[in-house]
A and B are shown apart, each in its own frame.
Chain A
Amino acid sequence: MKELVVLSGKGGTGKTSLTASFASLAKNKILVDCDVDAADLHLLLKPQIKEENEFWGGQVAFIDRGKCTECGLCQEVCRFEAIKDYVVDKISCEGCGLCSQICPVDAIAMRVPMAGHWFISETEYGTLIHAKLGIAEENSGKLVTLIRDNARRVAEKEKLDYIINDGPPGIGCPVIASLAGANLALLVIEPTLSGIHDFERIIGVCRHFSVPIMVCINKYDVNEENSCHIEDYCHRNDIEVAARIPFDNAVTEAIVQGLPVVEYSDNEVTQQVKKLWQVVSVKLNDQEGRDANL
């Protein structure tokens, strides 16, 4: 069993369209939408939910105003400025619990709220594990870890060959949670100056967690000069550029139709994506000694 995570650093580079196409091309796999904060993969894969589970996030403090003597100690110790006028702002509270431990009259309780849901679903392309984090909730990293663990469990039970993850944007906690221990990260990058800048940061994170990298340049013809820079950079840093995909509005048209682009048209984009999946799957199977169980 091999685990691929599709990442981009900067958002909106075509990660989800690509993942959906891999869903259509790969055999014997499970799909995971790790972008729990702004999940879109389900719009293309049209899942039928088989199992719905609650996700309980981190604890938050709650003050019982009946017991509170308004001594003000909790407000003083809270480092996150989460308590004002003896009321806890749930969104600012980091759940550290210090206030509840020091309240002289035991007026503060720590409560664990339900922070979202995660699902095991069937799609035309195989099982999809996805989630919906409540609005403004924390702990997206914890939720990502939870759905990845479940994807592995299912993949092991059903003896699947691949886990394909659609990762979140950025380099912070949900990205780290979706990346750590994967067999390969496919970085989807657009040839813009900001894309290049973000790209170097996401490479840094992959290296930090020792995950091998491959690169796909999307819409490479929007700025071929920048595309050359990216290729040079990859070359110098010993990173394989596995595909160059041209700009084509068919990609957006496919999204509007709710289809992976490889099923929507047989244009150059589709040819490149098919080739890319072959390269990626060979690379995944080539790796020795690394296993998704790490």
Chain B
Amino acid sequence: MIISVASGKGGTGKTLVATSLALALSDKRKVQLLDCDVEEPDDHIFLHLAINQSESVMIPVPKIDEVKCTYCGKCAEACVYNAIAVLKKKVLVFPELCHGCGACSYLCPESAISEVGRQVGVVETGESGNIEFIQGRLAIGEPMAPPIIRDVKKHIDRAREAIVDVPPGTSCPVVEAVKNSDFCLLVTEPTPFGLNDLSMAVELMKKLRIACGVIINRDGVGDGKTEQYCQDQGIPILLKIPLDRNIARLCSKGVPLIEGMPDWRKAFVALFQNIEQIVTAS
């Protein structure tokens, strides 16, 4: 089963949930934790496991053979991202703008375009007990997270329980990360900001037809409107984690909740069983 852990708003405790869920399951099962929050991957801080492999994520970028090129301009015309400009006796490629779609090389009448890889990030893997850990990291200054998320998700092994840590928000990196999940946990906090962003995340899951449930973190901090909203929408609230200085301290030190407070383990095992039931029922 693939369970993604998302939140419309950042900083609601997604990492806390993803790491504790992975650890709770790893007693009995083989688990994968995939950190797709590639702009700010943080799960590794909580798991303190060794990264033992790293692969580059490459985007294929055109390289022009100026001997064959007739400067006809077809490539520049084909590129909707304006990543190529053809001058009188020179073709300029702007690698930062290139999405690697291959249109230019496909359409060049002289076969003057080959492709070279440009690194936009890395995918790193590590292991600890029953947990296989995979994370992506977007290189600094690079705009596009989806190619890295795609590469992280290529590691998904259907024989294991996969937990996907999703970036915050509701736009393209989020879609890329939650796609094909069997279930999505939406972590929120019960404040007007949390609720506003949660409702957008719920809309997204509806659009993608992914079943979801809510986890309320820092329960007690704001107002009761989030629970009301979940009731109205018929979305189950699967877990509540109270506002608690000790939990906040554990998080700040990078200690997973179920390690710092082992009593929570049961709650996360039950959470998983709940999700399993919902998924098999549908």
Contacts and interface: CB of A to CB of B under 8 A. Distances in A.
Co-assembled chains A and B: yes
Interface string B42-64: 10011000000000000000000
Given A79-B101, A141-B143, A255-B193, A171 B138 contact: yes
B45 A38 contact: no
A194 B14 CA distance: 12
Contact of B248 (A37, A91, A222): A222
B221 A252 contact: yes
A90 B184 CA distance: 21
B171 A37 contact: yes
Given A8-B10, A192-B252, 8 more contacts: A10-B42, A11-B10, A12-B168, A37-B169, A38-B200, A96-B102, A137-B171, A193-B253
Interface bracket on A: 35 or more
Interface in B1-53: 8-12, 15, 39-40, 42, 45-46
Contacts of B99: 94, 96
Interface of B: 8-12, 15, 39-40, 42, 45-46, 78, 80-81, 99-103, 106-107, 138, 140-145, 167-175, 179, 189, 191-193, 196-197, 200, 203-204, 207-208, 221-223, 245, 248-249, 251-254
A138 B172 contact: yes
A50 interface: no
Most B CB atoms within 10 A — which of A9, A77, A170, A209?
A170
Interface in A203-228: 204-205, 208-209, 222-223, 226
A38 B140 contact: no
Contacts of B192: 40, 43, 255-256, 258
B12 A256 contact: no
A10 B11 contact: yes
A38 B11 contact: no
A204 B140 contact: yes
A237 interface: no
B117 to A, nearest CB: 13
Contacts of B251: 192
A274 B210 CA distance: 44
